[in-house]
Amino acid sequence: MTADLAEKTDRYERMLADALDAAEETPAAETPLAEAATDCRVMATSYLKDGRHFRENDDLVNALASFSYGYGWLDAGVRMGLFSIPEDTELFTM
* pTM for the predicted model, two decimal places: 0.89
Give the CATH number of the domain where residue 63 resides: 1.20.1270
Considering the domain boundaries, does residue 91 fall inside one? no
Angle at 75 between CA 68 and CA 84, to 5 degrees: 145
Task: Let me know if residue 8 belongs to a domain.
Answer: yes
Strands 24-25 and 83-84: antiparallel
pLDDT on residue 39: 96
Which residues form the domain of 74?
Answer: 2-21+29-84
Taking alpha carbons only, the member of 30, 27, 66 closest to residue 49 is 66
As for how many domains the chain has, the answer is 1
State yes or no: pLDDT of 55 exceeds 80. Answer: yes
* Residue 69 is assigned to a structural domain of this protein: yes
d(CA 22, CA 5): 25
**In 20-74, at which residue ranges do the beta strands (DSSP E only) sit?**
24-25
Q: What is the mean pLDDT of residues 39-65?
A: 97
